[in-house]
């Protein structure tokens, strides 16, 4: 009960804390709705775990990205713990996938914003077609270990496709990995968040800064650490080191 109350207080506080970090139209249009639904799903997950000692999640493998490993399986929650998936859930026609973070210590419900999915699928289709007709990927410069900028001209784009950040409303660029995956670069969002804080842990992945006071986890992302100049720096090797 104590854990549930703490989570309820946390979810309620998001409305107050996220003000300067969210786009104004996002706050006014849908924030209250999805925060209410987050609280409802959190209650259902807590009750399910108390009854079964496990979490209601979909199966995953070791190659599943960090923030997509613990996607909630609503089939395990409906109808006993909730009448149906929330209206904002992908399973119910919405644009969000509900997932869990901190599953070992304090399983907490967060959202994956799938509004960018169509853009991602279109870009991947063009990249795959390009690679099928060439012996190399459509990339330009290396920006970090195994990560490259994309040659959008080679892919016949008139304008570079971007993702609209669920945190700031700013445009975020795409990168391409040497494993054939698209990565969204959240450096500018992390930098904004860092400027709001007095202290940063230099030895940890910076991505949690994005969702400490926000409902969303960073979709299609890789770890960031602090550079020598104090800026967020893409660090794909960090996650591999943590998993060893």
State pLDDT tens for residues 71-104: 999 999 999 999 999 999 999 999 999 999 999 9
pLDDT in tens, 159-195: 999 999 999 999 999 999 999 999 999 999 999 999 9
Q: What is the largest CA-CA distance in the chain?
A: 59
Measured from the Cβ of residue 10, the count of other Cβ atoms closer than 10 Å reads: 15
215 vs 15: CA distance, rounded Å: 10
Separation of alpha carbons 76 and 236, rounded Å: 34
Q: Where are the beta strands (DSSP E) in the chain?
A: 96-101, 108-113, 139-144, 147-150, 163-164, 171-172, 174-177, 182-184, 224-226, 232-234
User: Which among 200, 170, 203 is positioned nearest to 185, based on CA atoms?
Assistant: 170
pTM for the whole thing? 0.84
pLDDT tens-digit profile, the chain (244 residues): 444 444 443 344 443 334 445 554 544 445 666 788 999 999 999 999 999 999 999 999 988 899 999 999 999 999 999 999 999 999 999 999 999 999 999 999 999 999 999 999 999 999 999 999 998 999 999 999 999 999 999 999 999 999 999 999 999 999 999 999 999 999 999 999 999 988 888 789 999 999 998 999 999 999 999 988 889 999 988 765 554 3
């Amino acid at each position: 009960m104590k854990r549930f109350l703490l989570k309820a207080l946390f979810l309620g506080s998001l409305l107050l804390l996220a003000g300067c970090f969210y786009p104004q139209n996002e706050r006014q249009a849908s924030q209250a709705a999805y925060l209410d639904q987050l609280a409802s799903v959190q209650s259902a997950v807590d009750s399910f775990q108390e009854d079964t000692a496990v979490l209601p999640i979909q199966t995953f493998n070791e190659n599943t990205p960090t923030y997509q490993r613990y996607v909630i399986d609503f089939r395990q929650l409906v109808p006993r713990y909730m009448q149906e998936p929330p209206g904002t859930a992908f399973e119910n026609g919405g644009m969000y996938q509900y997932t869990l973070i901190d599953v070992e210590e304090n399983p907490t419900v967060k959202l994956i914003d799938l509004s960018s999915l169509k853009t991602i699928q279109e870009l991947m289709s063009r990249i795959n077609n390009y690679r099928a007709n060439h012996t190399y990927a459509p990339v330009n410069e290396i920006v970090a270990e195994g990560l490259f900028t994309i040659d959008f001209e080679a892919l016949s784009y008139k304008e570079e496709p971007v993702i609209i950040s669920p945190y700031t409303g700013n445009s975020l660029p795409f990168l391409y990995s040497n494993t054939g995956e698209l990565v969204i670069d959240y450096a500018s969002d992390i930098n904004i968040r860092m400027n709001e804080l007095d202290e940063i842990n230099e030895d940890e992945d910076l991505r949690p800064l994005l969702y400490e006071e926000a409902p969303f986890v960073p979709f299609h992302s890789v770890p960031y650490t602090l550079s020598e100049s104090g800026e967020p720096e893409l660090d794909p090797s960090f996650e591999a080191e943590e998993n060893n």
